[in-house]
Structures are given as structure tokens and as C-alpha cells.
Amino acid sequence: MSETLVSLWQRSRDALIAAGVDSPVLDARLLLEAGAGVSRTDIVTDPRRELTAAQVAAVEALIARRAKREPVSHITGRKAFWTLDLAVSAAVLTPRPETEFVVDAALKALPPSRPARVLDLGVGSGAILLAVLAERDLASGIGLDLSPDALAVARGNAAALKLDNRVEFHLGGWDAPIAERFDLVLSNPPYIPTAEIDTLAPEVAVHEPRLALDGGRDGLDAYRAITARLPALLKPGGVFAFEVGKGQAPAVEALAGAQGLSLDAAALDLAGIARVVSGRLPD
Ligand SMILES: C[S@@+](CC[C@H](N)C(=O)[O-])C[C@H]1O[C@@H](n2cnc3c(N)ncnc32)[C@H](O)[C@@H]1O
């Protein structure tokens, strides 16, 4: 019997269930689209379309990779974030939906009518900074990262989105020389306690870059380094917004408060977890 879009979707889903993948229906569809070169609309409107042997083989190869717990984003090389379709690779953290709450906090702080300078510490794929610049025509900024390979991905995304005329990328650590004060400092730094990394799903523990995950013994190393610099990086009245891990908001608020920064109420994500710690440098 020949293979159709719907039969291959179902067979792929079953293979991913057997492999312990936690979103088998969605992942099977995304890899069916990528491997067979069809759209979601094709699958919905023409599910009994027959596939060629080459299409079936291409999809099966992608499903085999996913069954080994490689993330879909690494297999397709793409990830949707905010309004953007970003290129991603094994060199960057795959942008997460909860990180969109940092973008939300940033946009609340940036009126569209005012020019603004934005700094993103640990820019990775460029997700946060590029999402903000895409929404604010008068904003420009700097993305810093210790990983040259991540910066190459971010530069590519900025160029593809035609935002490269408003963004610079700097290679360096949290202590990199930055002789400027910003209207907005954003960060989603590594925040997983070192000992927890290997307990996470293989998609994260094996396939995401350690540099993007490892927050040191208690997960707070990056926040200690970044908050210490905030008073010198922000203009008076300038705003910061940081993503934090589950249960970390009070500790990060304490670190920022100790630097004389005022704090807003932490923003909750869709799971009700305090996800974004934000505030400002008093005028
Ligand atoms: C959790 S990822 C966030 C990436 C991206 N901003 C996002 O939200 O999807 C953290 C990023 O910080 C970078 N990083 C880790 N340690 C760093 C350090 N000491 N200095 C600068 N960047 C660092 C990593 O390379 C990684 O790209």
C-alpha cells in the first residue's frame, strides 16, 4: 500500500511515542513538512496525497534523528520565536516560549515613539534582541555573547531579518568592556544549577550547549556577575528585565536590590511561574 501524508504522519507519531518524545504528534507533523517538502495546509486539506519513495525516505531519516532525541529545531534548523522565524543550530539555545515574557517586559518599557539603546547579555540566536528591534523601529542595540558560534547565528538572523543596520554583536564575557549606558538591559543567562543539567531531558542535556545552560552551583552565577554591572550599564531611569528559572526570582530580586535597583513585580509565565525579574535604576 502506498504511503500518504496522513499514514506517514501516524507512523512517524507512533515511532516518536515509542522513543519517549513528549510532543509526538506535533513533532511528527513538523518533520513530515520538512522532509516531504509540504505545508501544514497540504496535510490538512489533502491528507490522502500519495508520497514518492524519496519523500518517505527523507521523512524517515528525520524521524530517526528525532527518535534519538535530537530537538526538532536542530533537525530543521529553524525555530519560531515571537513574530520571528529564526535560524538555530547546536551552537545556540533553542529559543523558548517563556522567553517571550522578557520581550513583553521590554516592549512595555519602550515607547514606540522614542529612540532607545538596548543591551542583550548572552544574546545566543539573537531571539530577544531581534524580537524587540523588530517591534521598535527607533531602537538599536548590542548583543554580547561568549560563544563566537552563537554570535555567527545571531548575525545571520539579524541580516535575514534586515535588522543588521541597528544591531552590533560583541564577543566577550559578562565582564566585557562596554563603555555605554543603555535604556534597557535584557538577559536570559544560563541558570540551571550544574548538578541538575544531566537530569534534564536528552534534548536539553545532550543537545543544548552547556555554556547556555550552566548557571554554576546554585544556578545564580550569571545573575551575580550581571547585577553587579547593572548600575554602570543603565541610564538613570533605565530598565532591566531578566528571565529566571523556577524559584529563582526572590534570589535575583535580592541581588538587584542590593545594587540599589528598584523592582517591579515579577512577571508570571503561562504556567504561573515567576519568570521575569525587572526593575530600573532610580533617576
Ligand atoms: C540561556 S542562553 C540564552 C540565549 C538567548 N538570549 C535566548 O534567550 O534564547 C544564554 C547565553 O549566554 C551565553 N553565555 C554564557 N556564559 C556567558 C558569559 N560568561 N558571558 C557572555 N555570554 C555567556 C551563552 O553562550 C548563551 O548564548
The pLDDT, as a whole number, for residue 90 is 94
Q: Render each residue's pLDDT in the chain as its tens digit; 283 residues.
A: 689 999 999 999 999 999 999 999 999 999 999 999 999 999 999 999 999 999 999 999 999 999 999 999 999 999 999 999 999 999 999 999 999 999 999 999 999 999 999 999 999 999 999 999 999 999 999 999 999 999 999 999 999 999 999 999 999 999 999 999 999 999 999 999 999 999 999 999 999 999 999 999 999 999 999 999 999 999 999 999 999 999 999 999 999 999 999 999 999 999 999 999 999 999 8
Residue 211 Cβ inside 6 Å of ligand 1? The answer reads: yes
Both 85 and 64 in one domain: the answer is no
The cell for 114 is: 522614542
Residues 36 and 105 in one domain: no
Residue 260 CB burial class (10 angstroms; 0-12, 13-18, ≥19): exposed
Last residue of a domain, one of 68, 93, 118: 68
Identify the pLDDT of residue 2.
85
**Is residue 73, in this structure, part of any structural domain at all?**
no
Is the distance from CB of 93 to CB of 145 less than 8 angstroms? no
User: In terms of domains, do 47 and 106 share one?
Assistant: no
Give which of 184, 166, 74 is closest to 119, Cα–Cα: 184
Does residue 146 sit in the same domain as residue 185?
A: yes
pLDDT in tens, 122-168: 999 999 999 999 999 999 999 999 999 999 999 999 999 999 999 99
CB of 245 sitting under 6 A from ligand 1: no
Could you tell me if the CB of 176 is within 6 A of ligand 1? no
Say if 74 falls within a structural domain.
Answer: no
Q: What is the CATH number of the domain that holds 148?
A: 3.40.50.150
Last residue of a domain, one of 68, 95, 116: 68
Mutate which of 82, 100, 121, 211 for ligand 1? The one with the most ligand atoms within 8 Å of its CB, which is: 211
Q: What is the pLDDT of residue 33?
A: 97
Q: What Cα–Cα distance (Å) separates residue 82 from each residue in 97, 99, 100, 128, 255?
A: 8, 9, 6, 9, 29
**Dist. CA 58–CA 37, nearest whole Å:** 9
pLDDT at 268: 97
In-domain check, residue 40: yes
Q: For position 1, what pLDDT does the model report? A: 63
* Same domain for 161 and 103: yes
Domain boundary at 14, 48, 68, which? 68
If one counts the domains in the chain, the total is: 2
Q: Which residues have a Cβ under 8 Å from the Cβ of 225 and sit 6 or more positions away?
A: 174, 175
Does 85 share its domain with 57?
Answer: no
Residue 263 forms part of a structural domain = yes
- Ligand 1 centroid distance, CA of 188 (Å): 7
What is the distance in A from the centroid of ligand 1 to the CA of 121?
A: 7
* Shared-domain flag, residues 135 and 225: yes
Instruction: Tell me: do 167 and 203 sit in the same domain.
Output: yes
First CA to last CA distance, the chain: 72
DSSP H or E segment with residue 32: helix 24-36
| Shortest-distance atom of ligand 1 to CA 190 | 1
User: Do 45 and 91 have their domain in common?
Assistant: no
108 in a structural domain: yes
- Note whether 62 and 114 are same-domain residues: no
Residue 158: domain span: 79-280
Give the mutation target among 146, 155, 220 for probing the ligand 1 site: most ligand atoms within 8 A of CB.
146
63 lines ligand 1 (CB under 6 A): no
Question: Residue ranges of the alpha helices (H) in 77-166?
Answer: 100-109, 127-135, 148-160
Ligand 1 centroid distance, CA of 209 (Å): 9
pLDDT attached to residue 98 = 96
**Is 167's C-beta closer than 6 angstroms to any atom of ligand 1?**
no
Residues 177 and 243 placed together within one structural domain of the fold: yes
Residue 113 resides in a domain? yes
Same domain, 172 and 230: yes
